[in-house]
Structure 1
């Protein structure tokens, strides 16, 4: 399965958004500004990424500075989960 499609599905599950929302998700979509993820949604996404890929999203986020957190994209997540 295409990693972007899979991540978009996980994002949809975490946010409860519909298919139209998902169609606009690109690798350049920023979690904060473009997708407007809230902290509870980010936590749900972190759990989904841990279950699916074994990655620790909170630990990854803890290593980022404020600008990197604000600019975090779906493409960044793809790089995180791709071996």
Structure 2
């Protein structure tokens, strides 16, 4: 998956969990901050991580949440996954 593919796949997952999604999907970039730019709280971010688990068939440890601040951080989680059922450390 290319970086653009990952971003395109994550954008709907992120927008579904955001109360104030950007007007246009292209406004979501790897540098977009989840809390400050998208006004997501920690629970919304957890739900996005759950959506990633369900979409990609992976398990993301709870401690990984501490390092998720941007869309790029979410993209890194997806890119580090090589196959269904894999646990992401």
Q: 2:76 pairs with 58, 64, 79, which one?
A: 79
Q: How many residues align?
A: 76
| Compared CA separation, residues 58 and 22, structure 1 to 2 (3 A) | farther
Note the residue ranges of structure 1 that are not aligned, 5 or more in a row: none
Q: Which has a greater percent of helix?
A: 1
Partner of 1:26: 29
Superposition TM-score, scaled by structure 1 size? 0.71
Superposition TM-score, scaled by structure 2 size? 0.67
Q: CA RMSD in A?
A: 2.4
Contact 2:31 2:72 in 1 (8 A): yes
Partner of 1:9: 12
Note the residue ranges of structure 2 that are not aligned, 5 or more in a row: 81-89
Contact 1:50 1:57 in 2 (8 A): no
Measured in 2, the distance between the counterparts of 1:20 and 1:9 equals 12
Deviates more, 1:37-46 or 1:26-35: 37-46
Deviates more, 1:18-27 or 1:30-39: 18-27
